[in-house]
Amino acid sequence: MIKSKIIDYLKKAISVNLRNYPRLSASMVEVFIPENEKFGHYSTNAALKLAKILKRNPIQIAEEIKSQLEKQPNISGLIDKTKIAAPGFINFFIKKEYLAKRLKEILKKKDKFGQGEPKKRTIVVEYSSPNIAKPLGVHHLRSTIIGQALINILRFVGYRVISLSFPGDWGTQFGLLIAGYKKWGNPEKIKKEPIKEMLRLYVKFSRAAKKNPKLLDEGRKEFKKLEQGDKENRRLWKWFLDESLRDFERVYKLLDIKIDHTIPESYYEPELKSLINNALDKGIAKKGKDGSVVIPIPNSPTPEIIQKSDGGTIYTTRELAAIKHRLKKWKADKILYVAANQQTFHINQVFRSAELLGFAKSGQLGHIKFGMMLAPSGKKFATREGRLIPLEEVLEEATKRSLKIVQKLNPQLPKKEKERVAKIVGIGAVKFFDLSQNRLSDIVFDWNKMLNLKGSSAPYIQYTYARLKSILRKSGGPQKTFNLSLLKNEHELAILNYLLYFPEIIEDSAIYYEPNRLAGYLLRLAEKANLFYETTPVLRAELKLRNSRLALIEAISLIIKNGLKLLGVEAPEKM
Ligand code: ARG
């Protein structure tokens, strides 16, 4: 990668002068992509950092580094020139020949361009993880969409990734559901609309229990029976679980989500007793007077309960068993939890407990947090009759609105094709809207932004892609004779250079677990492509130039398509 090459050059150039400079740390020689191409293709603030430590003039240090850089033989193949900019940046300009060489590489490697070497490291990514007997909530959707994009990206850079969901299917609430079912349930209704009916029974029962606390005991009893293996309760619970998982599967299919393993909480039930006993034996956990078992966590206000006073287990106990199992089964180097900001405290406590128990080393467990998705009003998503607005309705609406867009853009397209494209655009828009924003911030659902053909949206990129593909179709297929040195107007050079950032952007998206870096890159690439397309004649240009421009267009479309694919968004050939 170009960036790492420049870092190496820099390090060498600085160490020649090491007598005068402090010891180098990695953070001292950082290279970044400047916002504006005026400041080169890459830039470093290394001289500014050194100047601060040495209390010297940064420009002077930049001059010293620059002259050392120019003495290195290799740099001439890659760097055209370096320039110093106030207050002490060193900016690097890449050679045109080098850019052309890499463009050929894109055309050759196609969707493999930017792919990393296998890293021999395994990451388990836990995502989605809905609770059964309830519809998927908005936070589960964010987890699902962000999680899948991260999984795709991590795989692309070379990790072995195991993707899994950890549905919540155990705990007192299922006792309440069973009690509710026994009182008011009707198997036909469950078969017809499983999630809706289970939620109705649960809500009805817990409302009734608020007025009559005796019912709560009834629910607890049903859960106890379930834990102890009561046949009827097991049957009901298993039925609820299967129906729920089937329903989730339908949603995943709509969103093109592929989860390798679905391992619900209940899976760990048989191991919990010994886990608790081991924790006590090791002296990590302590027994309370009331019979509960807790893990005291240094510097945390609350100890983590792993056994209730009635001897029952708790969510955390199952979380801990899951960590142990995942690290062992897949020899995982890391487990990432794609889960909402609000879960931070709980997840932290679980991680610390797992470390105290020796299940995981520090740094092996990571929480990939995200903010809330708010309704257009800026408030939490409203529930309708106690249930969330179903995702299908959102996707249907997105598709309906997209159909209007496609209708306007391309009225000649056959009806069936329009409908197919509208689906790609609608679902892509919903996903991209989520993925293009900073993962940690709360985001406000907004149809107009999501579907704005001229804005920061999937349809904008998809439309750019379709336009590029249409030029390629009109040109009559791949061209053999081109001469990339003919590409030299500012728009061409800007894109040529921007295309090469792709592998680095992917790598950064993987390092920081931020798909929005890739999304932002694709938006800017589409902008540059449009600028090029609108200012530079392609099909009407003289043959060699025409073919070279077509080669550039081919490369742009390859990168857009592959970038979107990593985000889980499809790119239609026509729109
Ligand atoms: N089931 C939880 C919920 O619905 C999410 C679980 C997140 N993952 C975890 N291991 N805590 O909110």
Going residue by residue through the chain, which has 575 residues, state the pLDDT in tens, using 9 for 90 and above. Answer: 888 889 988 888 888 766 666 666 777 788 999 988 888 999 999 999 988 888 889 999 999 999 989 888 777 788 999 999 999 999 999 998 888 888 999 999 999 999 999 999 999 999 999 999 988 878 889 999 999 999 999 999 999 999 999 999 999 999 999 999 999 999 999 999 999 899 999 999 999 999 999 999 999 999 999 999 999 999 999 999 999 999 999 999 999 999 999 999 999 999 999 999 999 999 999 998 899 999 999 999 999 999 999 888 999 999 999 999 999 999 999 999 999 999 999 999 999 999 999 999 999 999 999 999 998 888 887 665 455 667 788 899 999 999 999 999 999 999 999 999 999 999 999 999 999 999 999 999 999 999 999 999 999 999 999 999 999 999 987 777 888 889 988 899 889 999 999 999 999 999 999 999 999 999 999 999 999 999 999 999 999 999 999 999 999 999 999 999 999 999 999 99
Q: Which atom of ligand 1 is nearest to the CA of 322?
A: 10
Q: Which atom of ligand 1 is nearest to the CA of 140?
A: 4
Q: Which atom of ligand 1 is nearest to the CA of 315?
A: 11
pLDDT for the residue 24: 67
Q: Whose CA is nearest to atom 12 of ligand 1?
A: 130
- Centre of ligand 1 from the C-alpha of residue 282, in Å: 28
Rounded Cα–Cα distance for residues 571 and 459 (Å): 9
Rounded Cα–Cα distance for residues 62 and 88 (Å): 6
* Structure token pair of residue 569: 């968004």
Residues with C-beta less than 6 Å from any ligand 1 atom: 126, 129-131, 166, 168, 319, 337, 339, 343, 347
> What phi and psi, each to the nearest 5 degrees, are found at residue 430?
-65, -45
> What phi and psi, each to the nearest 5 degrees, are found at residue 454?
-110, 5
- Centre of ligand 1 from the C-alpha of residue 367, in Å: 11
Q: Whose CA is nearest to atom 7 of ligand 1?
A: 339
Classified as helix, coil or strand, 89 is: strand
Q: Which atom of ligand 1 is nearest to the CA of 137?
A: 4
Q: Whose CA is nearest to atom 5 of ligand 1?
A: 129
pLDDT for the residue 14: 85
* Structure token pair of residue 203: 């809500």
- Centre of ligand 1 from the C-alpha of residue 103, in Å: 44
Write the CA distances from 147 to 124, 338, 462, 494, 523, integer angstroms: 11, 6, 22, 32, 21
Q: Whose CA is nearest to atom 3 of ligand 1?
A: 130
For ligand 1, pick from 126, 143, 166 the residue to mutate: most ligand atoms within 8 Å of CB. 166
Place of tokens 């008011």: 184
In sequence order, which residues have a C-beta less than 8 Å from that of residue 233 and are 6 or more positions away?
Answer: 178, 222, 225, 226
pLDDT for the residue 382: 66
In sequence order, which residues have a C-beta less than 8 Å from that of residue 228 and are 6 or more positions away?
Answer: none
* Structure token pair of residue 532: 């090029």
Write the CA distances from 153 to 102, 107, 276, integer angstroms: 21, 21, 37
Place of tokens 């659902």: 445
Rounded Cα–Cα distance for residues 443 and 445 (Å): 6
- Centre of ligand 1 from the C-alpha of residue 129, in Å: 5
- Centre of ligand 1 from the C-alpha of residue 168, in Å: 7
- Centre of ligand 1 from the C-alpha of residue 165, in Å: 9
Measure CA 63 to chain center.
41
pLDDT for the residue 388: 60
pLDDT for the residue 22: 67
For ligand 1, pick from 343, 349, 370 the residue to mutate: most ligand atoms within 8 Å of CB. 343
- The residue ranges of every structural domain in the chain are 2-94, 123-374
Domain 2-94 in this protein, CATH class: alpha beta
Q: Which atom of ligand 1 is nearest to the CA of 319?
A: 10
Q: Is-contact 164 125, C-beta < 8 A? A: yes
Sheet with 261-262: strands ordered across = 261-262, 160-165, 122-126, 334-338, 365-368
> What phi and psi, each to the nearest 5 degrees, are found at residue 293?
-125, 130
Looking at beta carbons, which pairs linking 448-456 to residues 24 or more positions away fall under 8 Å? 450/398, 451/398, 451/401, 451/402, 451/405, 451/425, 451/426, 453/405, 453/409, 456/523
- Centre of ligand 1 from the C-alpha of residue 257, in Å: 18
pLDDT for the residue 476: 87
Q: Whose CA is nearest to atom 6 of ligand 1?
A: 129
- Centre of ligand 1 from the C-alpha of residue 232, in Å: 27
* Architecture of domain 123-374 in this structure: 3-Layer(aba) Sandwich (3.40)
